[in-house]
A = this chain, B = another copy of it.
Amino acid sequence: MLKLSAALAAFALSWPALAQTAPPPPSPADAIPADWKPIPDGEILVMTLRGGHQVFIRLAPRYAPAHVGNIRRLAEAHWWDGTSVNRVQDNYVTQWGDATETKPLPPMVIANPPAEYEWTRFDGVTAFARPDSYAARTGHSADGWPLATDGKTSWLTHCYGMVGVGRDLAPSTGSGAELYTVIGHAPRHLDRNIALVGRVIEGMQWLSSLPRGTGDLGVYESAGERTPILSVRLASQLPEDERPRFQYRATDNERFAAWVRTRENRTPPFFTVPAGGADICNAQAPIRRAQ
């Protein structure tokens, strides 16, 4: 961790426009323009909190089609408008939805979808050099989702910022009306026990920096502590010119593989001992606003 002045100096060094020097030579880890692919409007959720703070979530319909189907219907019905963030547990999760858990679900929302927790095909096109504590192999799907496999099944991993579905005790799978995101160290023990449906791709700070709840499991003890949710919409529900445009970095190319190697082996002048590896949650695939 750099001291402040050194951090800013190093940052300047790494950004030629700031340091007013020649740009660095291209790296094998740099994306080419074609590596950036658009995220469809129907796969972006826009949550607006009190104060107008916006949180953008990329949905994962390929991995959790029934749950994401529910989430789309909830957004289309404006169901979350007027609900709130109800639980913030330090080093664990921020959770939102209807605090009373009595609000009726809209038509066509399946109360208890299939358990979309794991599947038999490993979608990953990258692989890390070392196994981790939870899986024989991890990697990214071609479109940037973090995955793990034990050779028999595979699953999405509970990295920082991933979004999952609150549920009752098993065999409940949760409808998707109550959602959470990871705000601490990856709770990978939740993998395969819960439906992951997306990832926060911008505005994470509005969920991660909320006051921690003082009730059991970080639940707020009074209604006044909750953060109101003004609205949740799919980008496809917004007027064309108001839609946020995001791109993911494709991972099925040698440039991304080189990028993973840079995550595994950080370089001088700050680092002197390269780790020689990285876990999947320290190498989440980049997302950016469309240029």
Contact = CB atoms under 8 A, between A and B. Distances in A.
A253 interface: no
A90 B178 contact: no
A275 B189 contact: yes
B131 A4 contact: no
A97 B192 CA distance: 42
A2 to B, nearest CB: 6
Chain copies in the assembled complex = 2
A289 interface: no
A7 B91 contact: no
Interface in A76-103: 86-88, 90-91, 93, 95, 97, 99, 101
B282 A1 contact: no
A29 interface: no
A170 B10 CA distance: 12
Given A7-B216, A132-B279, 8 more contacts: A1-B93, A1-B190, A90-B205, A117-B273, A130-B134, A132-B132, A192-B275, A205-B211
13 contacts: A1-B95, A1-B164, A3-B167, A90-B208, A91-B160, A91-B161, A130-B132, A134-B275, A134-B278, A160-B185, A184-B184, A184-B185, A193-B272
